[in-house]
Amino acid sequence: MRKFECSVCGFVYDPEQGLPEQGIPPGTPFEALPAEFCCPVCGAGKSEFNPLALSPQDGSEASVQLQTTVLEVIPRTPSIKSFRLAAPDRVRFKPGQYLSLSLRPEAGFTRYLSISNSPTEEGYLEVTKRITQSAFSRMLDRTGPGCPVSVTYPMGKFTFEGEFAKIALLSGGIGITPLRSMVRYAFDKQLDTGICLLYANRTLEEVAFKAEFDAMQEAGSRIKVVHTLSRAGSGWTGRTGRIDAALIREEVPDYHERRFYLCGPPLMVEGLTGVLRDELRIPEAQIETEGFTGY
Ligand code: FE
């Protein structure tokens, strides 16, 4: 049975695994899926899927399934935690890709999460999630070192490995995870790429990876990080409000020379794509987006 790939987000449907959370049992061929089937990650329809090449021509690696365990849980903010999962030393993925994480696949506890570490950080795969009241969140929050999990990786086309001389990364909240992987990768590899990260949050305490981003900015002249807060406290001297055309013009004056990467809640990604396209006249071909439906 062939695997099929979503042409929009790169999600791979594996008939051997099915999609138990959508009521599709393992062993269901793609052709047998109902007409109303849609991508569990981005919501694209069945017609957006194409058969996955058996031996990818573009150098990308087919996704693999890995039975593994949690190594470490790292609190990032009061509501965000990173989960490090043991992985082979040479983990093959590109910065920006995502994985599927199953806690109890038979019960439908599977979610698609960006990989928040960089391929330069070896020996583990890290996902970073806001812990909400959802059943999956609560179950994930109860895991700890040694707990068994199953992951399928890598998936996704929202990647950066140094292809462009200048990039701008726009993100809000937990949408930072694939961008954190890209920035860490560029920093560790000492890429020549000029990076400007605009990162929107409500409050300072909600900013994930802040100390790390600030340290990378101080150590490397090619990385600029701009935080903007919508509910800043009285002591905040940085930018306030949302990411808009005015903020981009001021902080990224050479925006027309940059490749843009947008990741965050779908509404934010949609809104920012409109700002870039309509107000800043940036061709859509210069804008890469990732909008997960299932944070
Ligand atoms: Fe998709």
pLDDT in tens, 40-99: 888 889 999 988 865 444 445 578 889 999 999 999 999 999 999 999 866 689 999 999
Provide mean pLDDT across the span 199-223.
Answer: 94
Q: How far is the CA of 155 from the centre of ligand 1 (A)?
A: 10
Q: What is the pLDDT of residue 60?
A: 52
CATH of the domain at 244: 3.40.50.80
The verdict on 128 and 187 lying in the same domain is no
The verdict on 88 and 184 lying in the same domain is no
Domain encompassing residue 187: 166-290
Provide mean pLDDT across the span 98-118.
Answer: 86
What percentage of the chain carries pLDDT values higher than 90? 73
Q: What is the pLDDT of residue 59?
A: 44
In a domain, 161, yes or no: no
Provide mean pLDDT across the span 103-125.
Answer: 87
Please state, in angstroms and as integers, the Cα–Cα distance from residue 130 to each residue in 124, 140, 173, 212, following that order.
Answer: 20, 10, 9, 18
The verdict on 174 and 271 lying in the same domain is yes
The verdict on 190 and 265 lying in the same domain is yes
User: How many whole angstroms separate alpha carbon 91 and alpha carbon 104?
Assistant: 23
Q: What is the pLDDT of residue 104?
A: 77
In a domain, 76, yes or no: yes
Q: What is the pLDDT of residue 195?
A: 98
The verdict on 221 and 248 lying in the same domain is yes
Q: What is the pLDDT of residue 134?
A: 87
Q: How far is the CA of 44 from the centre of ligand 1 (A)?
A: 5
Provide mean pLDDT across the span 199-224.
Answer: 94
Please state, in angstroms and as integers, the Cα–Cα distance from residue 74 to each residue in 82, 209, 272, following that order.
Answer: 5, 11, 30
User: How many whole angstroms separate alpha carbon 101 and alpha carbon 225?
Assistant: 30
Q: How far is the CA of 115 from the centre of ligand 1 (A)?
A: 16
The verdict on 256 and 175 lying in the same domain is yes
In a domain, 208, yes or no: yes
Is residue 1's pLDDT more than 70?
Answer: yes
Q: How far is the CA of 42 from the centre of ligand 1 (A)?
A: 4
The verdict on 30 and 134 lying in the same domain is no
User: What's the domain count of the chain?
Assistant: 3
∠ CA(164), CA(260), CA(199), 5° rounding? 120
Q: How far is the CA of 240 from the centre of ligand 1 (A)?
A: 33
Crossing angle of the two packed helices 210-219 and 177-188, in degrees rounded to 10: 30
The domain boundary, picked from 124, 155, 186, lies at: 155
The verdict on 38 and 99 lying in the same domain is no
Do residues 17 and 23 touch, judged by C-beta distance below 8 A?
Answer: no
The verdict on 12 and 81 lying in the same domain is no
Q: What is the pLDDT of residue 15?
A: 92
How high does pLDDT run on average in the chain? 91
Taking a 5 Å cut-off on Cβ, the residues next to ion ligand 1 are 6, 8-9, 11, 39, 41-42, 44
In a domain, 133, yes or no: yes
Provide mean pLDDT across the span 251-277.
Answer: 95
Q: What is the pLDDT of residue 42?
A: 84
Q: Which helix (H) or strand (E) covers residue 266, if one does?
A: helix 266-274
Q: Which helix (H) or strand (E) covers residue 216, if one does?
A: helix 210-219
Q: What is the pLDDT of residue 47?
A: 93
pTM for the whole structure: 0.88
Distance from chain centroid for Cα 218: 24
Q: How far is the CA of 9 from the centre of ligand 1 (A)?
A: 4
Q: How far is the CA of 177 from the centre of ligand 1 (A)?
A: 18
CATH of the domain at 15: 2.20.28.10
What percentage of the chain carries pLDDT values higher than 70? 93
Q: What is the pLDDT of residue 58?
A: 47
In a domain, 279, yes or no: yes
In a domain, 276, yes or no: yes
Provide mean pLDDT across the span 213-232.
Answer: 94
Please state, in angstroms and as integers, the Cα–Cα distance from residue 238 to each residue in 217, 228, 263, following that order.
Answer: 15, 7, 22
The verdict on 133 and 217 lying in the same domain is no
Q: How far is the CA of 17 from the centre of ligand 1 (A)?
A: 17
The verdict on 225 and 182 lying in the same domain is yes
In a domain, 57, yes or no: no
The verdict on 19 and 89 lying in the same domain is no
In a domain, 239, yes or no: yes
Is residue 105's pLDDT more than 80?
Answer: no
